[in-house]
Amino acid sequence: MARDRKPPLPRTRLAALNALTATVTALVLTLTAPPAAATTPAEGHDVSSHQKNVNWPSAKAKGATFVYVKATESTTYRNPHFGQQYDGARAEGIIRGAYHFALPDRSSGATQAAYFVANGGDWKADGWTLPPALDIEYNPYDTKHGCYGLSRTDMVDWIKAFSAEVKRETGRRPVIYTTTRWWSACTGDNTTLASTHALWVARHKSADAGTLPAGWSYWTFWQYDNSGSLPGDQNLFNGTVAQLRKFTRGY
């Protein structure tokens, strides 16, 4: 049996209907697309003594909008090039911040945080200073003790002590740099730090940042390669330069 059929629409009405449908579809796609799809992440990098004296005009010309500079390690090392790198970036109009490489088997979290703040890890809401960052990853000096000989509970307590001291001295919680595998192995997928700490995740040569450490639903910084057009490691900020400036000020 043939189905009932409506008479065809006039061509002018049909064209108008098609145009309206296309407009509504485009609007729906715009409203439901994730924010990152509509923005260009700010490009940056991180450097240490390996990069020595950085050519900051060249880095700026190649697109650097921010940089993290290694300041300290444990309580016995300060980057000898820190001044040229940290102040040089600022002079060239690049947002900069300092990071500390943690060695939790050497001293307490509070002790290392105090050393870090005293040697470049401070913060102020001037729109040019990234919050201090804690680099916590596998032990580079003893591969058999990647978690520095600490239990998972003790490791979380160490990080919390470091964070509390940085917050007490600077007013900001540190950004936490780590990998998903290290976080799982050495903190037992702890989720208690994610709500109060921005994540700087390392995952190289990948199309995306992948599965994040437990507790975090998004990354703030992503170190996506250890070499590239900028000196040192290559990074992205999960937002625009304008959003990055808001982040530096604490909101």
Residues assigned a catalytic role: 46, 135, 137
Closest CA to 74 of 158, 17, 9, 3: 158
Closest CA to 44 of 246, 186, 251, 240: 240
Strands 233-237 and 42-47: antiparallel
CA angle 93, 94, 95 (to 5 degrees): 120
- Euclidean distance between CA atoms 62 and 59, whole angstroms: 5
